[in-house]
Amino acid sequence: MRARIGKEAHDIDSQQHCAGGLNFGYFYEGSPIIAYDGVAHPGYTIHDFTSSTVPGCRAPHLWLSGGRSLYDALGPYYTLISIDPAIRVSGIVDAAARQDVPLTVLDIDAPDARALYVRKLTLVRPDQHVAWRGDEEPAAPLDLIDLVRGVRNTPARKA
Domains (range + CATH), the chain:
2-148 (3.40.30.120)
Model's pTM, two decimal places?
0.82
Q: Are 159 and 134 in contact (CB under 8 A)?
A: yes
Is the pLDDT reported for residue 152 higher than 80? Answer: no
Nearest partner of 121 among 109, 110, 132, judged by Cα: 132
Q: In the prediction, which pLDDT does 70 show?
A: 93
Tens of pLDDT, residue by residue over 110-121, are: 778 888 999 999
Q: In the prediction, which pLDDT does 58 show?
A: 92
Tens of pLDDT, residue by residue over 5-51, are: 878 877 776 666 666 656 676 777 889 999 999 988 877 676 676 77
- Higher pLDDT: 2 or 110? It is 2
